[in-house]
A and B are shown apart, each in its own frame.
Chain A
């Protein structure tokens, strides 16, 4: 079983990395880009098979440690 967690900066938080990447893409000629947000991706390999238990435990970990709720949002996905 595997967990995938995507952490992104909150919309209200300054994201200079996202802005810089967006500018670079535009310089390369890419058009139609509204905004870029740079975050983190974590892949966690799990030994158990209980999807709900894993979701609960990782939600707590993501909230308490893996992301900082003051500045970041996260999305958790469990792949059985």
Chain B
């Protein structure tokens, strides 16, 4: 499979994402933010970083980059798109995902390992995650507090669109396990069509044993499995 990894000015996890995909034996290529086409790709990763210096609001300027039109079209056609950290913020600003990410509750930048519970295993981003597994994946953000109004939250819950929630090492959704004050301990969500997802934790930084965890692989492997299943249907 071939992944496009977007590059904005001040993206800084683009290399990590490309590496994470290649380690799994698949292709990944950079796509510059001024490009108007993604080329022939199977999935898109919007990586972490501080696009446009986080000026105005995180992701607010990146969403107007020319490549985002191509991403929107790709998503509208059912293509798989995942936003990680700043990528999640960009997808929310672009309206591809509901809600917004605001300043962490304690005003601190958090760079640490967190534990995640997967709330829905039946999506292209989660299908390879073992049931009841507690994932250990790092976060590194100052603006990761997920916010959405009551109506949006109710829609997310009703549609099983909440994918990951911050939890304790034993899988309990406690206030203490919530690093940034996100509503309902939300760490990641998907859209109602289940082809666009975003999360604040970095699966790209948890894809090799030397990094302290390989749990992030499950997310990329889920995407690859979904793409391979789709390709098999096309051939048959």
Contact = CB atoms under 8 A, between A and B. Distances in A.
Contacts of A9: 102
Contact of A12 (B57, B106, B149): B149
Given A68-B60, A70-B99, A70-B100, A14 B107 contact: no
B147 A14 contact: yes
A14 B57 contact: no
B60 A14 contact: no
Interface in B87-122: 92-93, 99-100, 102-107
B56 A14 contact: no
Nearest to A9: B102
**Chain B, interface residues (CB within 8 Å), range:** 10 to 19
B100 A17 contact: no
Interface string B56-68: 1100100010000
Interface residues of A, number: 12
Contacts of B102: 9, 13-14, 71
Interface string A1-18: 000000001001110110
B56 to A, nearest CB: 7
Nearest to A64: B64
A70 B81 CA distance: 22
Interface string B123-150: 0000000000000000000000101110
B181 to A, nearest CB: 6
Interface in A12-64: 12-14, 16-17, 20
Contacts of B56: 65-66
A16 B143 CA distance: 11
Contact of B147 (A20, A65, A66, A71): A71
29 contacts: A9-B102, A13-B102, A14-B102, A14-B105, A14-B145, A14-B147, A14-B181, A16-B103, A16-B104, A16-B105, A16-B107, A16-B181, A17-B103, A17-B107, A20-B107, A65-B56, A65-B60, A65-B64, A66-B56, A68-B57, A68-B93, A68-B100, A70-B92, A70-B99, A70-B100, A70-B147, A70-B149, A71-B100, A71-B147
Given A16-B104, A16-B106, A70-B99, 6 more contacts: A14-B105, A14-B181, A16-B107, A66-B56, A70-B100, A71-B100
User: Considering the complex of A and B, which 9 residue pairs feature the smallest CB-CB distances, nearest first?
Assistant: A70-B100, A71-B100, A16-B107, A16-B105, A68-B100, A13-B147, A71-B102, A16-B103, A68-B57
Interface of A: 9, 12-14, 16-17, 20, 65-66, 68, 70-71
